[in-house]
């Protein structure tokens, strides 16, 4: 059964999101390292250390974002991208009923 939305556009959007995450990954890794270093500051109060741990955990959520992208990709019906690409390549036709 054909879908009414563009599986190709959704797939391309996820490619774009992954590309942006790849660009951000180096910055997020550096931010995580700096937050970890901040926890090693001598005599840092525990309440600050706990907030830094929370910050580090938030930065590490990038993995959850990648999982969410994978879930979007899994939600695209099997064969829908290929079928849409074939339809685009061969041109659209109106169905005669």
Indicate the burial class of 32 (C-beta count within 10 angstroms; 0-12, 13-18, 19 or more): middle
H helices, E strands: number in the chain: 4, 0
Q: Mean pLDDT over all residues of the chain? A: 90
Indicate the burial class of 73 (C-beta count within 10 angstroms; 0-12, 13-18, 19 or more): middle
**Alpha carbons 70 and 88: distance in angstroms, whole number:** 25
User: Three-class SS of residue 77?
Assistant: coil
15-62 pLDDT per residue, tens: 999 999 999 999 999 999 999 999 999 999 999 999 999 999 999 888
* Sequence-separated contacts (24+) of 34-37 with Cβ below 8 Å: 35/59
27-36 pLDDT per residue, tens: 999 999 999 9
87 pLDDT exceeds 90? no
Segments making up each domain of the chain, as ranges: 7-88
2 pLDDT exceeds 80? no
Indicate the pTM of the whole model: 0.70
DSSP at 60: T
């Amino acid at each position: 059964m054909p879908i009414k939305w563009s599986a190709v556009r959704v797939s391309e959007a996820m490619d774009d999101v992954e590309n942006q995450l790849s660009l951000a990954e180096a910055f997020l890794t550096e931010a995580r390292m700096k937050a970890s270093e901040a926890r090693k500051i001598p005599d840092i109060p525990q309440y600050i250390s706990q907030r830094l741990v929370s910050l580090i955990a938030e930065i590490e959520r990038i993995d959850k974002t990648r999982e969410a992208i994978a879930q979007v990709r899994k939600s695209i019906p099997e064969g829908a991208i290929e079928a849409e690409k074939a339809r685009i390549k061969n041109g659209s036709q109106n169905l005669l009923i």
